[in-house]
Amino acid sequence: MKLFLSFFIFFTSILLLNAQLDSQNKSTAIPAVESKKETATTPTITPSKPIENNQTFGTLNVPKLSTGVELPKKEFSLFGEKFGNPGELYTKQLNDQLADTKLTPAEVEARNGSTTDQYFGDFKSKAKFVNIAYRDHGYVDGDLIQVLVNDDVVQARVFLNGGFSGFKLDLQKGFNKIDFLALNQGESGPNTAEFRVVDDMGNLVSANRWNLATGVKATIIIVKE
């Protein structure tokens, strides 16, 4: 009986083992689904046509597109309106030169400024000192001067206002040379100024005016006795 039972269990185990192996080797195949072939009713995608010029969509007008580079309507000029016509500029300069030829030397100097040094004379004085004052007698436009006494700079850079300004000068025995040097001609030109020299007693020693070009000087000499 035990032998039969043992044989039965062994036989049953073999059958179960074979069944498991068969189940692992077998797999479920999923059938492939064929895609539908294109038919005459299948919609096709076609490329869109370019928009034509002046094409209208309802009430919306599409502007006409430019196909080339448009040239400027106005011809470009290096000089332009800002700089003016070079021919007109040349004509203006020529007219100014011709106008100078019709003026007297004094009028030309007043207009353009003297290009030669001006000498306003020498004066004798017994004063210990003098007050030297100056101002712009024309339009205040930024005229600058330098003042020298016996070739030494005593006022390096003076801005000429509409009112008088200046300095006190102690006189040396003998010659006292005073130079007024025009450093510029301001905005309108020439360098225009009026000066006055007053002694220690309040007496006017000298007074005058100048119209100078840049770099030109006016000179006065005071001789102390």
- pLDDT tens figures, 144-160: 999 999 999 999 999 99
For residue 188, name the pLDDT band (cuts at 50, 70, 90).
confident
- pLDDT score of 80 more than 50: no
- What one-character DSSP code corresponds to residue 156? E
Backbone angles phi, psi at 116, to 5 degrees: -120, 150
Sign (positive/negative) of CA torsion 7, 13, 15, 21? negative
For residue 139, name the pLDDT band (cuts at 50, 70, 90).
confident
Q: How far is the C-alpha of 174 from the C-alpha of 132, rounded, in Å?
A: 18
- What one-character DSSP code corresponds to residue 62? P
Single out the residue of 145, 123, 115, 129 nearest to residue 220, CA to CA: 123
Q: Which two tokens stand for residue 102?
A: 């019709």
Q: What is the mean pLDDT of residues 47-52?
A: 53
Q: How far is the C-alpha of 210 from the C-alpha of 110, rounded, in Å?
A: 9
Residue whose entry in the numeric block shows the structure tokens 């000066």 = 195
Q: What is the mean pLDDT of residues 41-68?
A: 52
Q: Which two tokens stand for residue 111?
A: 């207009």
Global confidence as pTM:
0.54
Q: Could you tell me which CATH class the domain 116-224 is placed in?
A: mainly beta
User: Do 197 and 165 meet the contact criterion of CB atoms below 8 Å apart?
Assistant: no
For residue 79, name the pLDDT band (cuts at 50, 70, 90).
very low
- pLDDT tens figures, 6-34: 666 766 666 665 555 455 555 555 555 55
HSE on the CB side for 100, CA within 13 Å? 12
Q: Which of 3-12, 38-47, 84-93, 200-209 has the highest mean pLDDT?
A: 200-209
What are the structural domain ranges in the chain? 116-224
Q: How far is the C-alpha of 137 from the C-alpha of 183, rounded, in Å?
A: 16
- pLDDT score of 5 more than 80: no
